[in-house]
Structure 1
Amino acid sequence: MKITEVETIPYRIPMRKPLRFASGEVHHIEHVLLRIRTDAGLVGCADIPPRPYTYGETIDSVIGVIGRIFAPALIGTDPLDRARIHAALGRTVGNQTAKGGIDIAVWDLIGQALNTPVHRLLGGYCDSLAVTHMIGFSPTEAAVEEAQRFVADLGVRAFKVKVGRRPVSLDVELVTALREHLGDDVLLYLDANRGWTATEAAQMLAATEGLDLRFFEEPNEAAEVLGRRRLVAASPIPIVADESTPDLGAAAREIHTGGASALSIKTARTGFTESQKVLAFAEALGLDVLMGNQIDTQLGSIATVTFGAAFEHSSRYPAELSNFLDMSDDLIASPLEIVDGRVFAPTVPGVGTIIDEEKLAHYRID
C-alpha cells in the first residue's frame, strides 16, 4: 500500500456562541480537513485546527506546508512506515497541528487496512472517557447556569473554567459560585491561558484555597521563567503545561526545569505517535495528564477519545470533549453523543472520522 495523494480542504463553521478566554476569542472555526489517499482505495482523514494565537499556524500556512513540503515526502510511502514518515516531517520545525493531522490520518489508514479500530491498535484500555466541559468568559450567573445544564442534561461532572487577563476578584467570584452551586463532588480546575503574571496567579491560588480546585493550567507565560518556577514550587495543586509544551521536547524541558508539574495532551498537535511518547514520559515521572481540547470539532474530539481511552494513564481524568456543542454544525456523518457524562471510542475500522460530503461542500472555503 502506497500513499498516492494528499488533499487539504479549508472550511468555516460559525459558533453558536463565541468562546472567549484570556488569549483570544472564537466566533467561528476555520479548520483544514486533511485526506490522504492510497493505491488500495483507502482514505485517511483528520481535522487540523490552526491556532494563530497559540502556535502561529493559519489555514494558509497549514495548506502551504502540507502541499509544498509534507505531501512530496509522503507520496509513494507505505503508511505502515510511520518512523520514516515522522523523520521526514521532523526536518521541518514547528507546524504542530499540520504534523499532528498527518499522523492521525496515517493511523486512520492503518486501522482501515487492518480492519481494526485505531483505539484498539493503540491499546484499547477502556471503551469511553468521562467528559470535562470548558466554560469560557461569561457573567457568573450565566456560567453557573451553563454548568448546571451540562450536569442535568448530559451527566457531565467536570469543568475547566477559563480565567485570567481580568481582575482576580472576578474569577474568584466565578469559581466560588460554581463550587457553591455544583457541590463538592464535581471536579473543577482553572485555565488562565497565560493571562496573568505569576504574582496574580498566586493570588488566585490563595483566594481559592478552600474550593478543592484540582489543576491550574497555564497560569502565566512559561517565558517568565523564575516567576513560573516559584509558582510551581509553591502551588498546592498541579500546574499544567499546555500551549507551552507543543511537543515532547518542550514537555521534557518544562517539567525538568520546574515550569510545570502536570501535562495536557492534545492529539491535534502531537497526533497519536508523539502523544504516546508524551504520555509515557508523564507516566514514568508520575505526572498527571489531562486530555485537552483544541476547540475541536467532533472530528477532532473523536481523535481525542480514540487516543485517551486507549491507555490507563490518559483515562484517569475526564477529557475535554464537549466544546463541539458550541458549534452550529459539524462535518461528521455520525454525530458524537455524550451519554451519562461519557463519550465512547469508535468501534469501526480506523479512527471513525467519516465525512458528510454535503456538509463539506456547504462549509468549504473556495
Structure 2
Amino acid sequence: MNATVSSIEAILVDLPTIRPHQLAMATMQQQTLVVVKLLSSDGVVGIGEATTIGGLAYGDESPEGIKLTIDTYLAPALVGTDATNVHAAMAKLNKVARGNRFAKCALETALLDAQGKRLNVPLATLLGGAVRTALPALWTLASGDTGRDIDEAERLLAERRHDTFKLKIGRRSVRDDVAHVAAIKRALGERARVTVDVNQAWNEAEAATGIALLEDAGIDLVEQPVPREQRAALARLAARFVVPIMADETLMGPEDAIDLVRGACADVFALKIMKSGGLYGTLRTAAVGDAAGMALYGGTMLEGSVGTLAAAHVFATLPQLAWGTELFGPLLVKDDIVTERPVYRDFCLHLPTGPGLGIAIDEDKLAHYRRDASRKSVALA
C-alpha cells in the first residue's frame, strides 16, 4: 500500500440561503452540509460532502445522522486501509453498514479527490474522462410568488446564467399551482424551458388533472408527481401523457433503475450521487437508464460546492445527458467554504481543470460556519 487512511473528520456546516427555498415538504432557510476531510499517510487530504434537504423531510438520512454514522461506524472501518484502492474501501464499508448512501458518497468522494490529487489529474479523468467540460444548469424558482419568480427568471436570462427553470409545486391546490406555473411559462415563452417538481405531493387523481393542465400550458417536464412507492401509478401517468415524466425520489440506485425500466414507470431518470451511494453507483444507475433508452438528467440534493463539483465530474463523463443538470446548489447559499466558487456562465456550470475535485477548502470560512468547535476526528492510534 502506498498510502493508508490516517484520519477522517465529518463536520456539520450551516450555510444561509439567499432566500427562503420552498419545496412541497419543507421551506429551507439554510442548507446544512456534512463536509468530510480524509487525511492519508502520504499527507494528501481528500474532501467530500453529504447533503440532504430539509433534515429528514426528503429521505431517510439527516445531516446529524450522516455525521454520527461516519464517526461511529464508517470512519473506524476505513482508518488504516489502503487510501488508493477506492473500490476495496467502499466494499469494506458496504459490509460494515447497509444503506447509508449519503454518508458513503461523502467518503467515496473524499477518496477519489485524494487519488486525483495524488495522480495530478481531475476526478473526471479517474472515471474515464470528460466528454463535456460545460454542463447546462437550470435554476429553481421557489419563492412561491408568481411576479417575483418571473422577475427572477428574466434577470437570470438577461445575465445568461440560466435558460431552464424548474418550479417547486405541491404545497397549494392543484389548480392554484398550475395557474402559477402557467403564468410563468406565458411570460417566458419559448425563451426558456419550464419544468415542475411535485416532490411526491399529489395522489394519482390529482396528478392526472395537474399533468393534463400542465401539458396544455406547454410545460416541458414533470418530476415525481406521486409518492415514490407508487410506481404503478407513475407508470400509468407516463403512459397517459406526452409530457415527459421524471423519476426522482423513487430512484435510489441501479437496482431501482432496473425495476423502473421493466415497469415503464418514467421517461427520464434524475441521477443524484447521494441517492446512488456515490459516484460509481451513479455511473451504474446511468448505464442502466442509458441502455434502456431512458433520457438522463443530472440532479442535485442542493449540495454545496464540494458535492456539486463531485456530481459535475460524474455527469461530465456520461455519453448521454439529454436534460442537462440542476447543479445550482452553490448559487443558493450566501457564502461558501471553498477558496474559489464554481464558475457559472453562458447557462452552464464549467468543470474545474485542477487535480481531484479542482477546489480547495477555505479553512477560515469552514471554521466560521461549522456547527461545533470540537474538531474531533477518528484517527489511527
TM normalised by structure 2 equals 0.91
Instruction: Name the CA distance, whole Å, in 2 between partners of 1:160 and 1:103.
Output: 29
Query: What is the Cα deviation at residue 31 of structure 1?
Result: 1.5
Query: What is the Cα deviation at residue 225 of structure 1?
Result: 4.1
Instruction: Name the CA distance, whole Å, in 2 between partners of 1:350 and 1:225.
Output: 38
Asked if the contact 1:164/1:196 (under 8 Å) is kept, the reply is: yes
Deviates more, 1:355-364 or 1:131-140: 131-140
Deviates more, 1:253-262 or 1:52-61: 253-262
Instruction: Name the CA distance, whole Å, in 1 between partners of 2:91 and 2:46.
Output: 20
Partner of 2:111: 106
Asked if the contact 1:46/1:353 (under 8 Å) is kept, the reply is: no
Task: For 2:98, give the aligned amino acid.
Answer: V
Percent identity for Structure 1 against Structure 2 = 28
Aligned partner of residue 161 in structure 1, secondary structure: strand
Instruction: Name the CA distance, whole Å, in 1 between partners of 2:235 and 2:290.
Output: 22
Task: For 1:41, give the aligned amino acid.
Answer: G
Instruction: Name the CA distance, whole Å, in 2 between partners of 1:237 and 1:102.
Output: 38
Question: Does the alignment pair 1:96 with 2:123?
Answer: no
Superposed counterparts of 1:267-346, under 5 Å: 267-270=273-276, 271-314=278-321, 316-346=322-352
Asked if the contact 2:142/2:167 (under 8 Å) is kept, the reply is: yes
Instruction: Name the CA distance, whole Å, in 2 between partners of 1:185 and 1:124.
Output: 29
Superposed counterparts of 1:16-35, under 5 Å: 16-35=18-37
Question: Does the alignment pair 1:58 with 2:65?
Answer: no
Question: Does the alignment pair 1:82 with 2:86?
Answer: yes
Q: Please, which runs of 5 or more residues in structure 2 have no aligned partner?
A: 373-381
Partner of 1:359: 365
Aligned partner of residue 269 in structure 2, secondary structure: strand
Query: What is the Cα deviation at residue 218 of structure 1?
Result: 0.7
Deviations 1:269-317 (A, max 9, x none): 3321101101111110010111111122122221222221222313x33
Partner of 1:202: 208
Task: For 1:146, give the aligned amino acid.
Answer: E
Aligned partner of residue 26 in structure 1, secondary structure: strand
Query: What is the Cα deviation at residue 207 of structure 1?
Result: 1.0
Deviations 1:209-236 (A, max 9, x none): 2343332111011323443332122121
Partner of 1:37: 39
Question: Aligned pair count?
Answer: 365
Partner of 2:51: 49
Instruction: Name the CA distance, whole Å, in 1 between partners of 2:63 and 2:83.
Output: 25
Query: How large is the RMSD of aligned CA atoms in angstroms?
Result: 1.7
Distance 1:177 1:298, change over 3 A: same
Aligned partner of residue 194 in structure 1, secondary structure: coil
Distance 1:247 1:288, change over 3 A: same
Task: For 2:303, give the aligned amino acid.
Answer: D
Query: What is the Cα deviation at residue 326 of structure 1?
Result: 2.5
Instruction: Name the CA distance, whole Å, in 1 between partners of 2:78 and 2:275.
Output: 19
Task: For 2:106, give the aligned amino acid.
Answer: G
Partner of 2:160: 154
Task: For 2:26, give the aligned amino acid.
Answer: G
Asked if the contact 2:330/2:342 (under 8 Å) is kept, the reply is: no
Instruction: Name the CA distance, whole Å, in 2 between partners of 1:225 and 1:138.
Output: 28
Asked if the contact 2:302/2:327 (under 8 Å) is kept, the reply is: no
Deviations 1:123-174 (A, max 9, x none): 2111111111112141111111111111112341111111113211122222
Asked if the contact 1:154/1:338 (under 8 Å) is kept, the reply is: no
Instruction: Name the CA distance, whole Å, in 1 between partners of 2:76 and 2:161.
Output: 46
Query: What is the Cα deviation at residue 109 of structure 1?
Result: 1.3
Q: Please, which runs of 5 or more residues in structure 1 have no aligned partner?
A: none
Partner of 1:265: 271
Aligned partner of residue 320 in structure 1, secondary structure: coil
Deviations 1:5-31 (A, max 9, x none): 111111111112111111211111122
Deviations 1:216-259 (A, max 9, x none): 11101132344333212212122211122122222222332343
Aligned partner of residue 312 in structure 2, secondary structure: helix
Deviations 1:177-232 (A, max 9, x none): 22222121422211100011111111112112234333211101132344333212
Aligned partner of residue 63 in structure 1, secondary structure: helix
Partner of 2:377: none
Task: For 1:98, give the aligned amino acid.
Answer: A
Task: For 1:260, give the aligned amino acid.
Answer: A
Task: For 1:83, give the aligned amino acid.
Answer: H
Task: For 2:83, give the aligned amino acid.
Answer: P
Task: For 2:174, give the aligned amino acid.
Answer: V
Aligned partner of residue 207 in structure 1, secondary structure: helix
TM normalised by structure 1 equals 0.95
